[in-house]
Amino acid sequence: MTLKGHVHYVGVNDRVKHRFEGLWFLPQGVSYNSYLIADSEAVALVDTVDAAFFGEYIEKIQAIIGERPIDYLIVNHMEPDHSGSLALIRKYYPGVRLVGNAKTLEMVDGFYGARHEGDLCVGDGDSLSLGHHRLRFYLTPMLHWPETMMTYCETEGILFSGDAFGCFGALNGHIVDTEMDTHDYWPEMERYYAAILGKFGAPVQKGLQKLGSLDLRMICSTHGPVWVNEIGRAIETYRRFSAGETEEGLVICYGSMYGHTQRMAEAVAEGAAEAGMRRIVIHNLSVSQPSYVLLDIFRYSCVAVGGPTYNGGVFPVVEDLLKRLAGRSVAKHKLGVFGGFTWSSQAVKCIERYNEQMKMQLVSPPIEWKQGVGADDLAAARALGRAFKA
Ligand code: FEO
């Protein structure tokens, strides 16, 4: 698939993997995007694909360049969904020179033992000419690994952005947004951000600042569609999420063994509804997939977390969410806490301890009940719901 002139798409679709990184649900698969620039003086490959797809991948490359060798493999990101075929590319093309920064090349050794003397170590702002195309490299550390960088083709205005601006969801025939209905990919970009980049708001903001002056005519990320018409929307999505901007809304996240916490969660929702909150989402954490819960938390301004005491702490599915949130930028959210116990009060204390890391703002003192919930407890939960709208 030719994207522009001598720039080609050579990515693949993974419709088999059930969970990305072993964690995040993939109901519509995922694409591993790689790009080939077959220029007059040199051929460059930008990132590779998961090694499981190497057979299909090398066929796509050879269909474009035939017997011509690859001169450079530009490594924007070392996570193995993109670097997985690096060592095999090196075997097929022994003369290929890797292009990466100092951290990249150290990881090439660590992951694959495949660093060669002729590899190019680039710094921020360095450039490389392929003949017609001039590439410039921008280091974007912690977006979302320390070695991540982006490659900008000055000739065509194409940004090879790595994971940034990517999304879950395999590509269904189309590659470029100009030719497809992108509707289903936008929530998947937000879910990808919440799951993968949600901890790295500050580095994302820095990266956006660094790219701000570039003339962007095409964004080629490593997952999902190539952006041409909707570059602005992709950048705005990243700006909004990385700044912690949310819409008004309440996400109620709870775990329940025998229904008491669930009744309290319903009462919190009723209170918020009474107070005029229009957008309320409830996740039973024993049922909801974590990335969808995180997505809603990144979208909406208020979070209520509740669960029973369990083995001296909080119910495990609730603790799992708290651990995930503690590693993400969520400090601008309002938080409500509710928890129960039968003989030893631990759930509320545990949620509060996690909030020392999450740093959300408590809207009211936590609500706690012993054994079964009564009318007073449900009234307190409704008051908590109302407090989110105050
Ligand atoms: Fe798509 Fe961070 O790998």
Q: Strand 158-162 and strand 149-153: pairing?
A: antiparallel
Q: Strand 300-310 and strand 247-254: pairing?
A: parallel
Same domain (yes/no): 301, 226: no
pTM (global) more than 0.85? yes
Of 212, 242, 272, which marks where a domain is finished? 242
Same domain (yes/no): 258, 169: no
**Model confidence over 114-124: pLDDT tens digits?**
899 999 999 99
**Model confidence over 322-362: pLDDT tens digits?**
999 998 999 999 999 999 999 999 999 999 999 999 999 99
- Total number of domains in the chain: 2
Percentage of the chain modeled with pLDDT above 90: 99
What is the chain's mean pLDDT, rounded?
A: 97
Q: How many CA atoms lie within 13 A of 75 on its CB side?
A: 34
Q: Which CATH number fits the domain that encloses residue 294?
A: 3.40.50.360
Atom number, ligand 1, closest to the C-alpha of residue 148: 2
- Strands of 147-289 (E only): list them: 149-153, 158-162, 218-221, 247-254, 280-284
* Ligand 1 center–CA 371 separation, angstroms: 45
Same domain (yes/no): 163, 177: yes
Of 219, 242, 265, which marks where a domain is finished? 242
Same domain (yes/no): 340, 218: no
Confidence of residue 10 (pLDDT cuts 50, 70, 90): very high
**Model confidence over 262-295: pLDDT tens digits?**
999 999 999 999 999 999 999 999 999 999 999 9
pLDDT of 196 strictly over 90:
yes
Q: Which residues constitute the domain of residue 303?
A: 247-387
Is residue 164 in contact with ligand 1, taking CB distance under 6 Å?
Answer: no
Q: What is the pLDDT of residue 327?
A: 86
| Ligand 1 atom 3, closest CA | 79
Same domain (yes/no): 262, 179: no
How many whole angstroms separate alpha carbon 210 and alpha carbon 294?
27
| Ligand 1 atom 2, closest CA | 79
Q: Label each residue of 48-96 as H, E or C.
A: CCCHHHHHHHHHHHHHHHCCCCCCEEECCCCCHHHHCCHHHHHHHCCCC
What are residue 1's DSSP bridge partners?
none
φ, ψ of residue 267 in degrees (nearest 5): -70, -40
Q: Which CATH number fits the domain that encloses residue 133?
A: 3.60.15.10
